[in-house]
Amino acid sequence: MQQITITTPDDWHLHFRDGELLNETVPATARCFARAIVMPNLVPPVTNAKMAVDYKKRIMSAVPDGSEFEPLMTLFLTNQTSVQDIAEAKQAGVIAAKLYPAGATTNSEQAVSAIEAMYPVFAEMEKQGLLLLIHGEVTQSHIDIFDREKIFIDLYLSKIVTAFPSLKIVFEHITTCEAAEFVTSSSDFVAATITPQHLLLNRNDLLVGGVKPHNYCLPVLKRDIHQHALRQAVATGSAKFFLGTDSAPHAKHAKESACGCAGCYSAWSALELYTQVFDDLNALDKLEGFASLHGANFYGLPVNTGTVTLVKESWQVPDSVSLKSGEAIVPFFAGQTVNWKIA
């Protein structure tokens, strides 16, 4: 197949950041996605309805003229989040709340340190119809970083799913065969997003021949057996799995430093790379469901009415993207060839 046309897709997990970065990240996403779930881990994090509304206004100011792109706002959960915060967020148009275990990823220091204490908040979310989006990793320093997702399932996620059977839960950016199996075997109220980097890469691509900082993300890349499990999951066409890029920009100097900032800025190549994965899997007929249908259906939102056409044509991801300030960002797959291109 040399060309494919699909319903305009959505990105169900990304990071726009804030300030100057919005003028780069918002157009990059709006070029091919109609909507996006916006992660709330800013500094300070988006912890209440007013902050979510204000952040949405800043995002909208960066949407290109003529674009109908719509950001979908989320709340950042802390152990101070109240039932009232959830009710006010729902009234303000927020559609989900994000659970980060404290210290799990970028700007998550103020996040949840006592998950069981959040159960009254989860109950209110279940009542209000807000989705719970979960970064599913434990963060205790003595636990191997490659095991943290599996242990989170056993210690916390399985219990949350049992305690709140009508709460819609998205297990975000899953990375392991255990996560794929858990989602597959759970009720229809549990789904997962999968990133392009976890479909395309494994930990060899991070570590062999020297650490490659621009492939460093959290959850970290895993063994190839887990990469294979994720690829098989999307190839089934299961409605439980859908597109979430976790596109997350960092300045070049911040990625290439002792900081080792976690995140892959994939907005400029993600849809094309997903298409390449599905082509490699001989599953292009499953791409539209993954990219355009499953997420909207799970969130209870209408499917988009437009279309996007991709053609099998090689192009090269740029080595860097420059901001007006002169700051450089290295995009995911920088300098590498992609086999599919948006027409």
Using an 8 Å Cβ cutoff, are 118 and 99 in contact?
yes
Annotated binding residue 15: yes
* SS3 label, residue 300: coil
Annotated binding residue 13: yes
- Distances in Å between the Cα of 313 and the Cα atoms of 2, 281, 287, 317 are 8, 18, 17, 13
Annotated binding residue 198: no
| Nearby residues of 330 by Cβ (< 8 Å), 6 or more positions away | 214, 252, 255, 265, 319, 320, 321
Annotated binding residue 323: no
Q: How far, in Å, CA of 207 to CA of 210, rounded?
A: 5
Q: How far, in Å, CA of 41 to CA of 73, rounded?
A: 12
Annotated binding residue 135: yes
Annotated binding residue 41: yes
Catalytic residue (one of 10, 11, 85, 246): 246
Element (H, E) at 151: helix 148-152
Is 188 designated active site? no
Q: How far, in Å, CA of 111 to CA of 90, rounded?
A: 20
* Range 140-176 burial, b when 16+ CB lie within 10 A, else e: eeeeeebebbbbbbeebbeebbeebeebbbbbbbbbb
Annotated binding residue 226: no
Q: How far, in Å, CA of 89 to CA of 61, rounded?
A: 21
Using an 8 Å Cβ cutoff, are 265 and 329 in contact?
yes
Place of tokens 């970028």: 106
Annotated binding residue 98: yes
Using an 8 Å Cβ cutoff, are 33 and 11 in contact?
yes
Annotated binding residue 173: yes
Annotated binding residue 250: yes
| Residues making up the binding site for Zn(2+) | 13, 15, 98, 135, 173, 246
Q: Which parts are annotated binding residues? A: 13, 15-17, 41, 98, 135, 173, 218, 246, 250, 262
Q: Give the annotated binding-site residues for substrate.
A: 15-17, 41, 135, 218, 250, 262
Residues identified as active-site = 246
